[in-house]
Structure formats: C-alpha cells, structure tokens
Structure 1
C-alpha cells in the first residue's frame, strides 16, 4: 500500500497503546493520517510510522523526552532566534480534547482565511474564461492564438516569479508579503477593464503572472507554521476545493455582470474585470490584518487579546515542534541561502515528483481553458455557457476530497494520484474520435463535464513532495520548484489547442491522448523508483549491527532524505 516502514532497531520509543493496541493520541476529525515528517536529532532521527507524532503531547512519542535532545534543540532555537522559542517546553502535556479544540480554532482563523485568499487569486486568474464568452476577443480584434499567447505569457511570468517570490516571502515573512501580492495584482486586474487591444491585453497578462507567482508556495509555508504534517494534506485539499468553489461563485457573478453590457457604453467583460478586481483588492487589504506572523504573534493593536489563551499558545507551539523539531531551526524572517537553493535543485530523488508536476495536469487544462469557447461554438448563449460550467466544478470538489481521503485510507500516493489520468483518458479519447463531437451539443457538454470533474491529485502530490524533502529548508524550496514544473506544464497545455485546429481540435486532442499515456507511465515509474530506493537502503541498513546503526544515527553528517534510515513515501 505504499507504507514506508523502518527497521525497529533504530526506534527509541513507541507510542503509548490502549489495551486494544491503538495509540492514545487521538486525531481531530477530518485529518489525513499521512506519515509524520522525519524528525532530526543531532544529525537526524526518524520516528517509526507507528509512533504518534502529530499529537505527542500526551504520549511517549515526544522527541524531547530525552533531556540531551531537548537541550540540543533549545540551543538550535536560540541560535536561530526562532520566534516561538519562549514557548518551547519539552515537558508540556495536554489532552486530546484540548488539541482538537485548538485545531478547530486554527481551522476557523488560519485555514479559512487561506481559502479566502486563494479565492482572491482564482477570481483574477480564472475570470478570463468568462470574459471571452462575452465576445472579448472580437471586441479587441483578437483570435484564439492571441488568447493562447496571453495565457502563455501569464504562465511564463508566473513561473519566473515562483522562486523569487518564495525567497522574498521567507525574508519578509508571508504575513507581510502575501497581502502585498494580493493588493498589487488586484490593481492590475482592475486595469484590465481599460485594455484596448492585443498589446494592453498581453501587458496585463504578464503583470498578473509576475505578481501572482509564488503565492501558493507562500501560503503553504504560512500554513506549515500552524499545522502538523498529519494535518496539512487535508487542509491543502480544502485549499484547492476553493478553486472550484470560486469558479462556481464567479460563474454566477459573471451571469449578472455580463448582463451589464451597454451600461456606460462598456462591454460586460469590462465590468467583470472592474468589479471582480475590486473584490480581490478588499481581500488583499483585509489580509494585512488577518495574517499573524506566527502563533506567538497574534496580539496586535487591533487584536489586543490575540487568538489564544496562554494554555492554547503552549500547545500550539509544542505540538508543531514535536511533529518536526526542525520547524524551529529558522525564524520566520530568515532568508533562504543560495546553498539551500542549489542543494534542493540537485536533489535527484525529488525529480520524479517534479516530472509528475510537469505532465500530470496537462490533459485537463486545454479543455478547462476552452470550455466557454467550446460551448459557444456548439451554439450555447453567453449566459448559458457560464451557468453550464457550474456542475463540473461541483463534482470536481467532491472528487478532490474523495481522492484525498482515499490516499489517507490506503496510505498510498502514487497509484491513487494516477486515478486522475485514468479518469481523463476515456474522455479525451471520446473528444478525439467521437464523430458527433461539436455537433451533438448535449453529448459534447456531457463529455466535457465528466472530464472536468476529474479527481485532482495536486494536494496529495504537494504534501508528498514535502514529506520526501525531509527538511524545512529543502521543503521550502522544493515546494517552489514543484510548482514551477506545474506552471511549465500549464505553458505546454495552453498551446495545444490552436486556431487552425478548431472547431474539432483533432490534432490537439491527439496530443492530449499521448501526454495522458505518458503521465500514467510517469506515475508507475515513480512508484518503482521509490520502492527500489527504499529496498536499496534496507539492504544496507539490515547489514549493519545495532551498534553501527546507533553510531550512524548519532554521528552521521548525512541529512534529510540522504540518510540511510530515511524511507521515501510512495
């Protein structure tokens, strides 16, 4: 099932068990039980999967129960000037109910606002599809190739900004940088109401991409300050359901706004850009007040009581550190060094995940980008088109949450994630070879709707990349590199449907079929690669004596996923 087991010989402690053999550490409802992140200990120490790490305040899974270990990390936190170091308490204990109440508070104030900010991103990133349904291309004397070029330039700028944005965020703090990002790109989004032709259209696309790039890794970094590795994947699935929920909301909003064509002599799409840009600006300005830098920094002039009681604050800090002590080896205003960048880039063990990011999402994207144009071409009105996009987004939310739960239940990433491409394969086959496509309106709509209801594996792969990075510095950079590969895939996908291939897009759909098969192959090869890497390390580890293993754990300079006692998730 993809479980990464370690030899019991190097495990220092086991979680407390109930008489029935279950861990005493309970988990808040709705959490995905992914393996705990590897926990460094004087070189690096890795907990066996059976240990309770996410809720270890009341079990023997506390990595700081050894006084020498606690002193070691206390020194690290002081040296790094970790912002929460004053709350670090190796002896703190708490009950499962206390932690559940805290997590519910975090969900209401941290996760929920992250979703609101992602709503702001998707409003300005996704409303172009609705604008073109209102004859925007004709109004600006542009064609679908110009539309492709605009999307390509947006994605190239987005891609180029990913890593620089992550570096700025780590230096300034995501609580400062993210609100600045949202506010700046919303101003550009508003200016789209005044574009007059191809030049201004392309200019706004580039500016939007440059300002929005890096937003997602920045948000993931901020969330990691509050959530354990067990809790983060399902929060990310909620995060990406916001994408589909936003599309539903903006489709309904577009239905109203596009009816404003003629008001003040403006086309409906101009009103769409103006009003939705203002909505995003309000989200950006509010984010300056809604994003604390850390759990210990929620008290401000406008929030004098903060979010947490002293007791809750103690739990909030220590549960995250016990899940991954290295989360305190950098403070939240510390920049990433060039050495960390280079180390992450050359980590070939993460390249299979980057390959997945490059290829897996291409087969769905052209249909998603062109759904409004496709439905217009087969005879639906502007307003009907925007309403017809809603069912696919509703189903997309359901399948995203289901695939995330399935991955948790089976403790399997590769094969579960591959379901995404198995889902889209017959739909693309139908679009390519069905002779009635673009003639049978409702039939085409049904195929497109089923395709776009695909189970999105992005949340699983993001958490998977984090798990296999095994180090906070590496994790920060690998998130950006993975997302850059996703954007490279989006650049490819936005140039598959060409103007000379419409209305059937036979050449484009043939290419999508080929890429879909390649994506399935990459998932299978990734599974084989990680299984073999783990077996290779097991052979070396099993050949060592208990004394040699103990010596290795205490003295080895190997770090992160390069250690012999690290096992890759798959």
Structure 2
C-alpha cells in the first residue's frame, strides 16, 4: 500500500461510513465501562482497539526499550564506579561528579535543537541514528584508561542521548489522547527505573567475568550494555512511527493513519506549522513554558537520584560489610518502588482523578520531604533509614505525569509543545549539571546532608508550582 503522501481527513471523510471515522467521537459520548479503569482500550470500539494495540506494540514497546538502553547506558557509570572502576583508575576525589557533569552538559546542549529538528524532519530516522551512535560510544567506555577519556566519551554519549527522552515524549503526545496519555508516558518512564535496577543486577552478574579476555568486571559491563543497545537502536528504523500527518509505518493502513489524524483533531492537538516570529513570541511570552520548566526542574532535581546515595551508604557500611553483589542488588529496591508508584500514579491520574495530574505530583513531593528530611537528620533508627532510602523512589516516578500535563496545556500549538517538552528536560539538566558538584560531593558520602536538605526544599517548591499550574490552567479552559 502506498504512503507516498501525508494523509489527512477532510469534510468528506467525516461523512464516510468507515468505522474508523466515527469510533473516536462515539467513544466520547458513551458511559465508561469498568474495564476502562484496567486499560483504556478495553472500553473502545473494536476498530480503535485494534489500531491502539498495533500502535502500542510498536511505538510504546520501542519507546520503552529505547529508554531502557538509554538509562542503562547512562547509569552504568555509577554501577561500574562502585564495582572496581574507582580503584582501578584511582578515582578518589570528585571524578564521579565530573563524569556525571560532562554527560549532563552534552545532554543539555542537544535537547532543544533535537526537538526542533523533530518538528521539521522524520523522527523515525533521526532518533535511531542517535541511538546507534551512543551504543558505539558505550562500547568505547570499556577501553577507557583515564578519567579524562571517560569525560570526553560521556559528553558525546550525553549529546546523542539528548535526542531520545524529549523526542519520544513529543511523539507519544502526537498519537495518544488525554485518557491514554499518562499511562503511556509513565510506562515509558518506568523503563528508566527498570534499566537502573538491571544495571545493578547486571553488574553483580558480570563482576564474575573479572579478568576474562583481559577485561575487568566493570569493563565487561560496558561491553554487554553495548551488545544489548545496538539491536534495539537498529529496530527503531523499522518500528518508530513519525507524527501522524507524515507517518507511513508498515504496520498501519492508510485508513488507520487517517484515523490517528482525526483523533488528534478531536483532542485539539495541532499539526506541524511553520515557525514564525509571532509563533516564537507567543511561546516565550506565555506562562506555559516558564511554569512547566520550573515544575520539571523541581521534580528532576528534587530527588537523590543524582548520585548513588543508597549504594554509597551500603559501600561505607562496616557492620555489616556488604559485598559488591549485595551493594548492586540491595540498592535497586528504590527503583522497584519507583516502578510500582509510577504505574499507580498513571492509572489513578487517568482514571480515578479524571485526567488531573497534580494530585500524584503533590503526593510524590510530600513523600520526598518526609524521606529526605529524615535522612538529613541522619541519626535515626537504622530500619527507618533503610525505609527512607527505599521509599524515596516514590518521588522518582513523576516525569510522565509532568510531560502528559505539558502536552495537554500546549495542545493547541505543535511547535510550542515540542519546545516546551525539550525546555523542561533541558533546564532541569542545566541545574543538574552543577548542583551535584555543590550538594552531592563524593567526599561527603554517605551522609550528604547538604543534598538531602536541598532536595527537601526543591520538593516543597514542586508542590507549590504544581498547585499554581493547576490554577493557571483552570483559567484557560
């Protein structure tokens, strides 16, 4: 079937007897069945259900696997650091902080230009190409012999990875409607936690390869990460769709693509338009970009995820003294809590709260304050200290909700939506580029009192910002 021209729906299409044309509007009017609260597609007409099944199977699976390898390749540096790299390369000062910072600088530089590129070119070519590049660079980390080489490689890995998260959030927001969006965004986001957990398990496993083939155990981690990443990157050339109005994936028919365009019209989600001076002025004089940037800055920097605080605590413990395998395994419990809480947030936001994004965000902020104020005190019962390290994962899983909220607030301008999504992530990492150097200094491990106090304050600011956005958005609706 030919897909040589972009597909759109005109007034004649709306008079067509095709089941695809009417199913979306019919779904608006009918009452919800109980199955909707389990998974939204179970309450949709058969044709729309089949369309969403194919879209989820391709887009959501690729997005989750791609984010899995992104976070696997992003977080492996901390797993390697606590598993022999520190000693082998003599990294006894703040080199780990600098490795994180060089990655962050590359990530920040690339995000906004990449999302602007996505509004002009085909995402199905741009994003997989960048994935291949960072997979190759991950292989290269296994041969690094000094901190300086790692700094350079980490910068370019961050630059290549900058295309993925804001880009995929933009694409997800171009295909899904409001009652579908938070679940998909959050499922996508949970793959980051799973990757971080997997990196710990993988390091515990490959540590036994220490010495094989002339590689240390931590070097084997980078080799295996690269082996995992490359096939997923190549799959993106086949399975990643573009935005609906220019999309031509092999697994959707022309009628289904036209239906996707119609669904976005019903949602008020605008198609791609040229950049004009008026458009740029409207974007940067609206409260949208500034309030949503603050929301994401406070979320992204309002947790202890900037440094491996739990792993460092376990590594510093002398009674009992934990093995490398135990350090890498026990510290993953925080991310298990993140996975669970992220999915709970998604389902309750889409269903129980009727699409409201602020209640789970406020809850996550409150949990952060409880956990990090306790850790800032530090001299607390050991059981509660462990509980705080683990339960702090409830604040890690708010990204998908923040992004879903941004899609809805910016739904009437495609280019604003792309720029706002990228700016949220970019500015969050601008702060993350230097804040850990001040409040998460490696020499303060494992207590990190400055860090815990800082994220407690940022979590309070997150709550205030979420409630403010709720008020501002309500005035526009």
| Same structural fold, with TM-score higher than 0.5 when normalized by the shorter chain | yes
The residue that corresponds to 1:114 in the other structure is 63
The residue that corresponds to 1:66 in the other structure is none
- Counterparts of 2:192 and 2:468 in 1: how far apart (Å)? 30
The residue that corresponds to 1:473 in the other structure is 415
- Counterparts of 2:149 and 2:432 in 1: how far apart (Å)? 22
Alpha-carbon shift at residue 115 of structure 1 (Å): 1.0
- Counterparts of 1:530 and 1:179 in 2: how far apart (Å)? 35
1:321 aligns with 2:321: no
1:401 aligns with 2:340: no
Alpha-carbon shift at residue 383 of structure 1 (Å): 0.8
Three-state SS of the structure 1 residue aligned to 2:195 is helix
- Aligned ranges for residues 336-415 of structure 1 at < 5 Å? 336=275, 340-366=279-305, 369-378=308-317, 379-408=321-350, 409-411=352-354, 412-415=356-359
- Counterparts of 1:110 and 1:262 in 2: how far apart (Å)? 40
- Aligned ranges for residues 185-334 of structure 1 at < 5 Å? 185-293=134-242, 306-309=250-253, 311-324=255-268, 326-327=270-271, 329-330=272-273
Q: Cα distance 1:366–1:289, how it changes in 2: closer, same or farther (>3 A)?
A: closer
Alpha-carbon shift at residue 242 of structure 1 (Å): 1.1
The residue that corresponds to 2:112 in the other structure is 163
Three-state SS of the structure 2 residue aligned to 1:308 is coil
* Aligned match for 2:378, one of 434, 451, 465: 434
1:522 aligns with 2:452: no
Give the structure with the higher percent helix.
Answer: 2
Q: Cα distance 1:126–1:403, how it changes in 2: closer, same or farther (>3 A)?
A: same
- Counterparts of 2:473 and 2:170 in 1: how far apart (Å)? 25
Q: Is the 8 A contact 1:421 1:520 kept in 2?
A: yes
Mean CA deviation greater in 167-176 or 117-126: 167-176
Alpha-carbon shift at residue 224 of structure 1 (Å): 3.6
- Aligned ranges for residues 103-142 of structure 1 at < 5 Å? 103-142=52-91
1:149 aligns with 2:98: yes
Q: Is the 8 A contact 1:366 1:494 kept in 2?
A: no
Q: What TM-score, normalized to structure 1?
A: 0.71
Q: Is the 8 A contact 1:156 1:209 kept in 2?
A: yes
Alpha-carbon shift at residue 128 of structure 1 (Å): 1.3
Alpha-carbon shift at residue 121 of structure 1 (Å): 1.0
Q: Is the 8 A contact 1:359 1:519 kept in 2?
A: yes
Q: What TM-score, normalized to structure 2?
A: 0.84
Alpha-carbon shift at residue 364 of structure 1 (Å): 1.3
Alpha-carbon shift at residue 321 of structure 1 (Å): 3.1
* Aligned match for 2:440, one of 493, 497, 513: 497
- Cα deviations across residues 268-323 of structure 1 (Å, max 9, x unaligned)? 111101110121112111211222435688778xxxxx323565444334333333
Q: Is the 8 A contact 1:241 1:400 kept in 2?
A: yes
- Runs of 5+ in structure 1 lacking a partner? 1-14, 34-53, 56-94, 301-305, 535-565
State the number of aligned residues. Answer: 445
Q: Is the 8 A contact 1:427 1:447 kept in 2?
A: yes
Q: Cα distance 1:388–1:223, how it changes in 2: closer, same or farther (>3 A)?
A: same
The residue that corresponds to 2:6 in the other structure is none
- Aligned ranges for residues 550-561 of structure 1 at < 5 Å? none
- Counterparts of 1:191 and 1:178 in 2: how far apart (Å)? 20
Q: Cα distance 1:224–1:447, how it changes in 2: closer, same or farther (>3 A)?
A: closer
Mean CA deviation greater in 393-402 or 368-377: 368-377
Alpha-carbon shift at residue 124 of structure 1 (Å): 0.6
* Aligned match for 2:389, one of 441, 448, 453: 448
**Structure number with bigger Rg:** 1
- Cα deviations across residues 217-252 of structure 1 (Å, max 9, x unaligned)? 211232344323432222101101111222233322
- Runs of 5+ in structure 2 lacking a partner? 1-23
The residue that corresponds to 2:21 in the other structure is none
Three-state SS of the structure 2 residue aligned to 1:326 is coil
Q: Is the 8 A contact 2:119 2:415 kept in 1?
A: no
1:484 aligns with 2:455: no
The residue that corresponds to 1:460 in the other structure is 401
Over the aligned positions, Cα root-mean-square deviation in angstroms equals: 3.0
